[in-house]
Amino acid sequence: MKRVFVGLSGGVDSSVAALLLKQQGYEVIGVYMKNWSQDLPGMPCPWKDDFTDAKRVAVQLGIEFKVYDFEKQYRQKVVRYMLDGYKAGFTPNPDIVCNQEIKFKLFLETALEDGADMIATGHYARIFRGRSSENQKREARIKKQEVPHDSYFMPHDTVSLATAKDTNKDQTYFLYRVDAYALSKTIFPLGGLTKNKVRELARKAGLVTADKKESMGICFVGKVGIKDFLSQFVAEKPGNIIDQNGKVIGKHEGAVFYTIGQRHGLDVGGGLPYYVVGKSIKKNEIYVTTDLQDKKLWSNRLKLTSPHWIGREPKKSEKLIVRIRHQAKPIPVKLLRQSGSHGWEAELQDEVRALTPGQSAVFYAGSEVIGGGILI
């Protein structure tokens, strides 16, 4: 019987993931990852409530329950990454880094050292496992006695990440930086289910999290907006808001708090709405426009850094689609090529609005996630 350590967050998704694995005959151990416990002014951290709910679910399911304290590593790997990114003028995605560094690296490593065979989470995604084409060819040659039996074999198991059945809940955008080894040690029990079905299963089992609302905001921090969170670590620094004609039309609270395409929070009254089309951290200026067709807002070219491909690099002639943000409309990529030793470029079939440096572009071949990179 395989031992599976399930990340119990205190929500309904991870609760049902644990439920399903137990029903399927695995030895299930629930693990609450304590990644953040700091209260912010007027915004208490919900970790104690989430911890309590996770423990209550473990009791209901009759499974062992553990707590892994990753708070120090979370600050170093996720919070520091986010703060450094914003200070440099980017808009980083902490959820993607949390998956890469905490859930599918630190949690996986700790669980395996603690006796786990696999880990599982409540993510909406699917993992396909199969035999490598290299092995299939080699085995065919062995049967024909063309090569000896002790010839070198590639690993038998290959894995690929694929989109979930529930396209509205699919979370593969946030998982594209998880490596193939981690995926080979991971189970996503909810990949073939809809959110409504998950709720139904939770209610049928009488789980205390069955009707719990979904958490929003920064991963593990709770219902906290990015600006509110950043304000605790970055001092406000008023500067000028400059329109498309070069005119100063107002003041902002600090260039680090604004992102490309942003409309709300500019506090520039009257007339047409303004959209952020650029910013200068050095000058502490925000550049805006009232023209939704402004060329600075639209582009059909992507430039990427820090590429991560799950199993293979994309082929130049391969038909791919790309998402530039979670649940964004997938767009066909007309051309994808390597640019230098650490970057890639892609030409899109359609122009898209508000390409945001620091965010990720994730490439798909049908339902398979090939990988992606950071927009620059």
Q: Which of 98, 190, 276, 336 is catalytic?
A: 98
In 3D, which of 150, 127, 124 has the Cα closest to residue 11? 124
In 3D, which of 260, 92, 116 has the Cα closest to residue 177? 92
Q: Is 45 part of the annotated catalytic residue set?
A: no
Q: How far apart are the first and last CA of the chain?
A: 47
For residue 150, give Cα distances in angstroms to 130, 139, 154, 157, 332: 22, 11, 12, 18, 44
Helices (H) and strands (E) in the chain, counts: 10, 17
- Tokens representing 308? 């991560």
Q: Which of 219, 221, 286, 304 is catalytic?
A: 219
In 3D, which of 197, 191, 122, 121 has the Cα closest to residue 163? 191
SS3 of 342-356: the string is CEEEEEEEEEEECCC
In 3D, which of 196, 186, 184 has the Cα closest to residue 156? 184
Asked if 108 contacts 185 with a C-beta cutoff of 8 angstroms, the reply is yes
Angstrom distance (rounded) from CA 67 to CA 65: 7
Task: Please identify which residue in the block is written with the tokens 């395409």.
Answer: 261
Residue 167 neighbours by CB under 8 Å, 6+ apart = none
346: region left, alpha or beta (phi > 0 left; psi from -120 to 50 alpha):
beta
- Name the residue type at position 254: G
Number of Cβ within 10 Å of residue 162's Cβ equals 20
Asked if 66 contacts 58 with a C-beta cutoff of 8 angstroms, the reply is no
Active-site residue list: 98, 219
